[in-house]
């Protein structure tokens, strides 16, 4: 009989970082794509119908968070980012289309919001936005990069084996790396929003 191996947190983290390292090409591609579309969103004015739609989304977001307590705000941010990251990874199974689309959309939104902030308050406002992304952006980049990698199983020789391996490793990274990063990010972001 095989002896059951006990859970070892250190070993699990080593497996996480090993998988992230093996996936760095996908993660770096997501980062490049994200900042390319951020730059587009910042430099090129959006067509009026797109601007109106984005402003509607932002107004709805403000409406949903304006009366929340400090802890409720942290919880809202955490659950919202958690859902986005989860979908970013595991909807990648459909050939990586969803995480690529999410990368483009989120990048453009960041550029659009940054351009609005600079227009209303000057370039110094970008420095105030910076702390919001210190922990959140790495978590999002890892999620979206792993989502694209998950979808790449279709191009491997042993598709079922690759899908299983990518899925298990992605789930491990999500639970042990992404979730803690998003938790820290939500506390920082919640405090900054609540104090502003």
Do the domain assignments include residue 79? yes
Average the pLDDT over 164-183 and give the result.
95
Do the domain assignments include residue 114? yes
Higher-pLDDT residue of 68 and 111 is 111
Number of domains in the chain: 1
Number of DSSP helices (H) and strands (E) in the chain, helices first: 9, 0
Average the pLDDT over 82-92 and give the result.
92
* pLDDT at site 4: 57
Q: What is the pLDDT of residues 104-141, one digit of tens each?
A: 999 998 888 888 877 777 666 666 667 667 889 999 99
* pLDDT at site 55: 82
* pLDDT at site 167: 94
Do the domain assignments include residue 49? yes
Do the domain assignments include residue 15? no
Q: What is the pLDDT of residues 145-158, one digit of tens each?
A: 999 999 999 988 89
Average the pLDDT over 81-103 and give the result.
91
Q: What's the domain range around 154?
A: 22-195
Higher-pLDDT residue of 109 and 48 is 109
Do the domain assignments include residue 6? no
* pLDDT at site 195: 67
Q: Tokens 């980049």 label which residue?
A: 141
> How distant is the alpha carbon of residue 106 from its chain centre?
9
Percent of the chain with pLDDT over 70: 90
Do the domain assignments include residue 100? yes
* pLDDT at site 194: 67
Average the pLDDT over 1-7 and give the result.
60
Mean pLDDT score across all residues of the chain = 86
Do the domain assignments include residue 5? no
Do the domain assignments include residue 147? yes
| HSE of 103, CA atoms in CB hemisphere, 13 A | 29
């Amino acid at each position: 009989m095989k002896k059951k191996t006990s859970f070892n947190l250190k070993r699990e983290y080593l497996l996480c970082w090993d998988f992230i390292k093996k996936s760095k090409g996908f993660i770096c591609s997501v980062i490049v794509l994200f900042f390319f579309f951020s730059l587009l969103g910042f430099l090129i004015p959006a067509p009026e119908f797109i601007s109106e739609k984005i402003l509607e989304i932002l107004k709805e977001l403000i409406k949903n968070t304006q009366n929340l307590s400090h802890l409720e705000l942290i919880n809202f941010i955490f659950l919202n980012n958690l859902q986005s990251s989860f979908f970013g990874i595991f909807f990648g199974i459909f050939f990586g289309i969803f995480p690529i689309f999410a990368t483009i959309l989120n990048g453009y939104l960041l550029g659009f919001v940054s351009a609005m902030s600079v227009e209303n308050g000057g370039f110094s406002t970008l420095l105030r936005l910076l702390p919001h992304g210190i922990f959140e952006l790495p978590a999002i980049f890892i999620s979206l990069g792993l989502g694209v990698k998950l979808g790449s199983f279709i191009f491997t020789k042993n598709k079922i084996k690759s899908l299983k391996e990518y899925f298990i490793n992605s789930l491990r990274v999500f639970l042990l790396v992404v979730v803690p990063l998003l938790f820290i990010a939500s506390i920082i972001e919640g405090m900054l929003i609540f104090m502003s």
